[in-house]
Structure 1
Amino acid sequence: MSSLHGKTLFITGASRGIGLAIALRAARDGANIVIAAKSAVPNPKLPGTIHTAAAEVEAAGGKALALQCDIRDEANVEAAVAATVERFGGIDILVNNASAIWLAGIEDTPMKRFDLMQQVNARGTFLTTQKCLPQLRRAANPHVLTLAPPPSLDPKWWAPHTGYTLAKMGMSFVTLGLAAELADSGIAVNALWPRTIIATDALNMIPGVDVPRCRTPDIVADAAHAVLTRPARGFTGQFLIDEDVLRGTGISDFSAYAVDPTLEPLPDLFLD
């Protein structure tokens, strides 16, 4: 299978950034895209809403369903899944993309921010997967793909921002556990992470990042597409890196994904 035509993707946090890029790549195949995100009205600091994302998906050739959804709220997620089934008849693929970030040490991390990261990242991934699971069990080639790094207990990834690392690694450990739990179900449960820092609108809110040395979200979207078009059964529990996935498809020149191809890209926060 090399196309996602007719497949239904439920993508959290798809109003902008990597989630939107994954949605648009699938839309070009003629996929059905559920844009499940909180942003229903414009934000002057973060451009993009579920409605603008839906318009882009439709323009790219897909069918879109814009759903305002807070993945911290169980009833909200249940309602979003029900609306998806009513519109498209089921769910073939879940992309757990939504994530909260706060890059600071313990003394500079308000508990409100700490709680938000834990609720959105690990808990939100677990909750959304749980609610989509009955539909995924009925799908012909079901995938769960979570944007999370390879799990690590190396203190160098924890010391600079324990709260964020705990939340992000929480997504990784949810992936690890669910892949094992669902191994006999035929549902692929994998994680994908970029080799380099990705230039997103949210990144602009983090001071000190050299954006020209980043790559665009398209590299993650193309890698996700390569993963999601693979046979699901037996392909699970993998912690994949975008470059490695694309090399497996024959791509070795990544300069097209660079914000500035003349500069060496910045390594990601969780990768050597």
Structure 2
Amino acid sequence: MSSTTPPKQVALVVGASRGIGRQIAIDLAKNNYIVIVSAKTTSDPTLCTPFPPDPNSPSSTINTVALEITSTGGTATPIAVDTRSPASIQALVTATIALHGRIDILIYNAGAIYWAPVAGTPLSRFLLLERINPQGLYATIQSCLPHFAARGWRARIVVVSPPIYSRFFRGKTAYAMGKVGMSVLTKGLGMDFEKAGWAGMAVTSLWPATGIESAATVTAVAGEEGKRELRKATVFSDAVLAVIRAPVERVNGLLEIDEDFLRREEGVSEFGRYSVVEGAEPRRIMPRVLPRLEVEEQDDEGVRVDSNELREREGKAKL
């Protein structure tokens, strides 16, 4: 009897040109995944000097990240996407399926940031945050679901969004509305998976416990002292890999923090290696204890209405 090697799993990383997304793409490739490196920023990587570029600079694009991966023996393809456009998202998913016939892992790291009080956040900025953050995520998942179905509902989705707690809203309400909306999608979609009996599907939200070195944080912190408050992006990518390895029932619908998941599920107790400044201990910016979202009546669905079924019945009644 001849044995066949199963095909490599395919990971689609949206928002992979810099920072956390770049590190996730690189580490997935190191772990033998085929990676689709996707974001809006493109370039000619052969013109990049020095190479590889600063991972938190505009010189880092989906093309340089893909070349970083392939030059060390990994498999990666850069595909540009504008997450403000459902058509662009659909084209990304279609191209991925055309190349590899499958998507096993979806990582949604794309995001827009604007922190200001409501009075200082123009409507145009709020709408941009909504389009890129929750709407972009929703459109990406919607585009992937038919392909997950075609392969028997066996895939993992990881969303970069936070646990839900009130302090997160302070001073950045417009941004928080979108990011928390992404976390609501994680909880609700996870419930959909459970109700449908899709035991191979899991969606998980992950958020950093401390500041992570990225284009945004490097701009925000001041000098070497500010960098003492940051961890390397590898802490987050390690947590993503741990989530993907974990049993579905442990991570589906979970809103988790990178440090806490690594500590609890992987037995990591020493995080010093992740500090940007050697010997520094970055301040934890997330609460150590988060509120539970479940209520006593959690299993009571009341009168459950499916709008699609309702519309179908109304349509038949008009005939």
* TM-score, normalised by the number of residues in structure 1: 0.90
Report what 1:205 is aligned to: 219
Whether contact under 8 Å (1:34, 1:67) holds in the other structure is: yes
Counterpart among 264, 283, 300 of residue 266 in structure 1? 283
1:120, CA displacement in angstroms?
Answer: 0.7
Q: How do 1:80-159 residues align onto structure 2 when only pairs under 5 Å count?
A: 80-137=92-149, 138=151, 141-152=154-165, 154=166, 156-159=167-170
Report what 2:181 is aligned to: 170
* TM-score, normalised by the number of residues in structure 2: 0.77
**3-state SS of paired residue (2:145):** helix
Q: Does 1:179 align with 2:190?
A: yes
**3-state SS of paired residue (1:253):** coil
RMSD, aligned α-carbons: 2.3
CA distance in 2, matches of 1:157, 1:192: 15
Report what 1:230 is aligned to: 246
CA distance in 2, matches of 1:235, 1:106: 34
Bigger shift: residues 84-93 or 108-117: 108-117
- Residues 62 and 40 of structure 1: CA distance in aligned 2, closer, same or farther (over 3 Å): same
- Residues 234 and 219 of structure 1: CA distance in aligned 2, closer, same or farther (over 3 Å): closer
2:34 is aligned with what amino acid?
N
- 1:114-162 CA-to-partner distances (Å, cap 9, x unmatched) read 111111111111110111112223167410110111122x2x3212111
2:142 is aligned with what amino acid?
Q
CA distance in 1, matches of 2:59, 2:120: 26
Higher relative contact order (CA 8 A, sep 6+): 1
CA distance in 2, matches of 1:212, 1:131: 40
**3-state SS of paired residue (2:181):** helix
- 1:29-49 CA-to-partner distances (Å, cap 9, x unmatched) read 221111121011489963311
Whether contact under 8 Å (2:10, 2:35) holds in the other structure is: yes
**3-state SS of paired residue (1:94):** strand
Whether contact under 8 Å (1:69, 1:77) holds in the other structure is: yes
- Residues 93 and 74 of structure 1: CA distance in aligned 2, closer, same or farther (over 3 Å): same
1:234, CA displacement in angstroms?
Answer: 6.4
Could you list the runs of 4 or more consecutive aligned residues of structure 1 that deviate by over 4 angstroms after TM superposition? 42-45
Q: How do 1:58-97 residues align onto structure 2 when only pairs under 5 Å count?
A: 58-97=70-109
Unaligned runs of at least 5 residues, structure 2: 1-6, 45-52, 289-319
CA distance in 2, matches of 1:115, 1:33: 30
Whether contact under 8 Å (2:24, 2:237) holds in the other structure is: yes
1:216, CA displacement in angstroms?
Answer: 0.7
Q: Does 1:242 align with 2:253?
A: no
Bigger shift: residues 207-216 or 17-26: 207-216
Q: Does 1:55 align with 2:67?
A: yes
Report what 1:255 is aligned to: 272
1:144 is aligned with what amino acid?
I
Identity %: 34
Counterpart among 10, 19, 25 of residue 27 in structure 2? 25
Q: Does 1:193 align with 2:207?
A: yes
- Residues 21 and 116 of structure 1: CA distance in aligned 2, closer, same or farther (over 3 Å): same
CA distance in 2, matches of 1:243, 1:79: 35
1:102, CA displacement in angstroms?
Answer: 0.9
Counting matched residue pairs gives: 266
Whether contact under 8 Å (1:136, 1:143) holds in the other structure is: no
CA distance in 1, matches of 2:105, 2:173: 31
1:61 is aligned with what amino acid?
G
1:164, CA displacement in angstroms?
Answer: 1.0
Report what 2:306 is aligned to: none
- Residues 62 and 141 of structure 1: CA distance in aligned 2, closer, same or farther (over 3 Å): farther
Whether contact under 8 Å (1:92, 1:135) holds in the other structure is: no
1:214, CA displacement in angstroms?
Answer: 0.6
Unaligned runs of at least 5 residues, structure 1: none
- Residues 83 and 103 of structure 1: CA distance in aligned 2, closer, same or farther (over 3 Å): same
CA distance in 2, matches of 1:34, 1:257: 26
